[in-house]
Amino acid sequence: MIKLHIAQLSKCCSTDRLDQLEQIPAMQRRRLSSIAKLALNNALQCKADWAVDYIVWTSQYGDEQKTLKILADILQDQGCSPTLFATSVHNAVSGLYSILCADATTATSLAASWSEALLEAYSYLKTHTTAKRVLVLYYDEALPEIYAEYQAFDGFSLAAIVSLVAEQNTDQTGLVLDPSQIDSTITYHHEAQHFYDFWCDAANKQQGAWQKC
């Protein structure tokens, strides 16, 4: 089992006002995909008053709208747009954040669940002794209509600041995560939503792999 401290847990939904994006110039902001807008807004919101040493960008599907468009073009014997491909890859959102927000913080992009993102943050903090905080994000948008029957959900992003030790004068809560209890059968977006509900429920002290302490 591992122990972490969680602060600034926040969730952005596709129906929310994404006010933090006002920090990005309008011309560049308009070009962002819906999933990029969700993730970037949540990142800016979560770390507004916190310096971090590492960022973990995590998504199950990435920008599936663009991936489907690329596949459709291939089926029509059309060439793949280099711009479309470059902004569809799994680390595209991380790269856009780094460029548009002028933030050179070390980062990684994973096709993983929220709990696995926390494990990545823990591993980084344990192996980089000078690092104190990690920004962890999970984000996914509603899948294209062709997949709706298989899996329908609304787009959202979840973010938090993660550290190994509690810091003075900060609003942090301890979390014990038992990797052996992570439910690998649940879809990643459901797991992230369940964690948010669990964390916001003061009466719920333990659920699955998670325990507040």
pLDDT tens-digit readout, 162-195: 999 988 767 789 999 999 999 989 999 999 999 9
pLDDT grade for 66, boundaries at 50, 70 and 90: confident
Kindly report the CATH number assigned to the domain that includes residue 57: 3.40.47.10
Q: Which domain holds residue 151?
A: 2-212
Following DSSP, what letter does each residue of 101-157 receive, concatenated? TT----EEEES--HHHHHHHHHHHHHH-TT---EEEEEEE-PPPGGGTTT-----EE
- Whole-structure pTM value: 0.91
Indicate the residue type of 137: L
Indicate the residue type of 161: I
CA distance 200 to 192: 12
Q: What is the DSSP letter of 92?
A: H
pLDDT of residue 188: 93
pLDDT of residue 71: 81
- In the chain, the number of structural domains is 1
